[in-house]
Amino acid sequence: MNSEKHLPCEPLQCVPPLDRLFMPAALVARAYQRAVAASGGGVPVRLALEQADGSRFLFDTRVLPDASPDAAWNVPWLERLVKFVLWSRGGYRIVFSGPRALGETLRRHFASSPTGRFDAEIMGARIYERPFDVVFADELPGPYEATRPLGRHLDGCRIGFDLGASDRKVAAVVDGTVVFSEEVPWNPATQADPQWHFDELMAMLKSAAAHLPRVDAIGGSAAGVYVNNRVKVASLFRAVPKPLFDSRVKDLFLELQRAWNGVPFEVVNDGEVTALAGSMALDDGAVLGIALGSSEAAGYVTSEGCITSWLNELAFAPVDLRPDAPVDEWSGDRGCGVQYFSQQCVGRLVGPAGITVDAALPLPEKLKRVQELMARGDERARKIYETIGVYLGYTAAHYAAFYDVRHILILGRVTSGDGGTVILDEARRVLGTEFPDLAKRIAFRSPDERSKRHGQAIAAASLPA
C-alpha cells in the first residue's frame, strides 16, 4: 500500500554522509501538509485506536481532496501514518472517519498485504487477543487513556534484571544500592525449548539472590510486549514453536514468580525501564528513552512521571519514507526504526563506509570492529556514527509530533565510546538547523557511567511495589 506514488519530501539541510537518499518522515510530513494547505485545507480524517482494556487514542489529520493532482499521495501517506501510530500506541481496532474509499483501501491493506497482515496478526491475535479490524463511523467515541505510576520503589532487598538479545544482566539491590551485578552473554533467539529459557532465568535470579539476605521483590525489563507479566510478543522467544509459546512461554514470568514464593514480581518492556531510569536520574518526566542495541527499544514516561498503555514499539515504526528503504527482516516492511537505531544499522553501513568485515560475523562483532576503528580515529567509522546521528535528529522531530517530550535519552551498545558523542552532536545539529523551535525545548541526553552500569538495574528492581 505504501508504493502507489512516491511521497514528497523537503530538501535535507543535513544529509547523512552514508545515506544520501534518506527521506525523513518529518520532512515528508511537512511537504505533504504544505500541499494539503495549498489545496484549500484538505479533507478531514479522524482515527481512533482501541485497546482491549478500553483505552482509546484519537488522531486527526487532513488529506488532499480527490480533485488534487497529487491525491495519489493520500494512500501511502495515510498508511505510513497509521503504521506509526499503531506501533507507538497499539490497538486491535481502528475506527475510521473520513473518505470511505480511503478507509476501504486501509482495510484491504491490513487484510491482504504481507506487511499489513503482519501488523494485524501481531496487534490482534498476539498482543490484544482480539480479531483485528478497521471499522467505519461518522462520529468517533471520545479518548480514554489509563496511566499509572511506574517503579521508584527502592526499599528492601530486591533483584533487578534486563534481558537483551545478546546478553542478560542482573543486579542485587539493597535500599537502592547495588551490591552485586553480573552480565552474561547469551543467544536466546535461537533456543526453541522453553525449559532452557526458564533454567537460564532461574540461574540468573539465584546468582543475584546469593548476595542478599532475603528477596523482597523482583523486577525486570525485556525486549518485547508484556501485559500483566504475560509475554505477548518477544524476539527473545522467536525460536519457540507457537504451541509451546502459548502453553509455556506466555506465563513464564508468572511461573518464575511462583518459584520465588510469590514475591512481588513485575516485568515490563525494556524501553519503559530505560525511560524510567532516565526520569529517575533527571528527576523529571516527559522522557522518551531510546536504546540502540540489537534492536531499537523505546519507552516513554509522561510529564507526570507515569507510564501509559502505549506500546512504544518504535522498532516497527516507519522513519524513512523512500520506497526502496532498507527492509526489516522480521516484519518485511521498509524504513522502520530498527534499521536506523540498532546494531543492524551499523551492520548495514559498514559497506558504504568502506570498512571490510566478514559478512558472516555476528552483528555485535561488526559493531565491536567499528568501535575499535572509532577509538583509533578512523574517519570511516566516524561517518557511520555521523549518519546515525543525522537519522536521530530528523527522527526526533517526527517522534515529537506524537510524544510530549522534553528529554530524549539515548543509550545502548551502539552509543558506547566516542561514537555515542558523535551521534548526539549530529542529532543536536540537525534539530537546531531544521527544527529550531524543537531544539529549544528538547534536550538529547546520555546517562553517566554510573547510570550506564547500574541505572537500568536499579530502575528494574524498583518496579514492584
What's the chain's average pLDDT?
A: 93
Residue 167: the pLDDT is 84
Residue 272: the pLDDT is 86
For residues 256 and 265, is the Cβ–Cβ distance under 8 A?
yes
What is the C-alpha separation between 405 and 335, in angstroms, rounded?
A: 23
Q: Which ranges of the chain have pLDDT less than 50?
A: 1-3
Q: Exposure pattern of 51-85 as b/e (b: 16+ CB <10 Å)?
A: beeebbbbbebbbbeeebeebebbbbbbbbbbbbb
- Tell me the three cell numbers of residue 80: 505510513
Residue 234: the pLDDT is 86
Residue 2: the pLDDT is 42
User: Do residues 403 and 365 share a domain?
Assistant: yes
User: Do residues 156 and 289 share a domain?
Assistant: yes
For residues 79 and 111, is the Cβ–Cβ distance under 8 A?
no
Q: In sequence order, what are the residues at sequence separation of 6 or more whose Cβ sits closer than 8 angstroms to the Cβ of residue 145? A: 55, 56, 57, 308, 309
Angle at 39 between CA 33 and CA 43, to 5 degrees: 75
Residue 3: the pLDDT is 42
Residue 222 domain-assigned (yes or no): yes
What is the C-alpha separation between 261 and 251, in angstroms, rounded?
A: 16
- Tell me the three cell numbers of residue 263: 514475591
User: Do residues 323 and 456 share a domain?
Assistant: yes
Q: In this structure, what CATH number is given to the domain that contains residue 433?
A: 3.30.420.40
User: Do residues 236 and 328 share a domain?
Assistant: yes
Residue 397 domain-assigned (yes or no): yes
Residue 113: the pLDDT is 96
Whose CA is closest to 291, among 283, 300, 280, 282? 300
User: Do residues 200 and 129 share a domain?
Assistant: no
User: Do residues 107 and 222 share a domain?
Assistant: no
**3-state class of 409 per DSSP?**
strand
Whose CA is closest to 165, among 315, 310, 281, 308? 315
Residue 18 domain-assigned (yes or no): no
**Which three-class secondary structure string do you get for 425-443?**
HHHHHHHHHHCHHHHHHCE
User: Do residues 100 and 232 share a domain?
Assistant: no
Residue 20 domain-assigned (yes or no): no
Residue 387: the pLDDT is 98
Q: How many domains does the chain have?
A: 2
Q: For 377-396, what is each residue's pLDDT tens digit?
A: 999 999 999 999 999 999 99
Residue 32 domain-assigned (yes or no): no
- Tell me the three cell numbers of residue 78: 495515510
Q: For 330-352, what is each residue's pLDDT tens digit?
A: 899 999 999 999 999 999 999 99
Q: Please state whether beta strands 157-163 and 217-222 pair in parallel, antiparallel, or not at all (unpaired).
A: parallel
- The dihedral region occupied by 44, where left means phi > 0, alpha psi between -120 and 50, and beta the remainder, is beta
User: Do residues 105 and 159 share a domain?
Assistant: no
Q: Domain end: 144, 168, 189, which one?
A: 144
Residue 125 domain-assigned (yes or no): yes
**pTM of whole model > 0.75?**
yes
For residues 384 and 350, is the Cβ–Cβ distance under 8 A?
yes
Residue 447: the pLDDT is 80
User: Do residues 346 and 247 share a domain?
Assistant: yes
Q: Domain end: 122, 144, 166, which one?
A: 144
Residue 250: the pLDDT is 95
User: Do residues 255 and 316 share a domain?
Assistant: yes
Whose CA is closest to 411, among 334, 303, 299, 311? 299
User: Do residues 406 and 372 share a domain?
Assistant: yes
* Torsion angles phi and psi, residue 409, rounded to 5: -95, 125
For residues 267 and 219, is the Cβ–Cβ distance under 8 A?
yes
User: How many residues appear in the chain?
Assistant: 465
User: Do residues 248 and 264 share a domain?
Assistant: yes
- Stretch (H or E) spanning 171: strand 167-174
Q: Domain end: 81, 115, 144, which one?
A: 144
Percent of the chain's residues with pLDDT above 70: 97
Residue 396 domain-assigned (yes or no): yes
Q: For 3-47, what is each residue's pLDDT tens digit?
A: 456 899 999 999 999 999 999 999 999 999 999 999 999 999 999
State the alpha helices, DSSP H only, in 337-415: 343-353, 363-375, 379-400
Residue 187 domain-assigned (yes or no): yes
* Torsion angles phi and psi, residue 57, rounded to 5: -120, 130
Q: Which domain holds residue 420?
A: 146-465
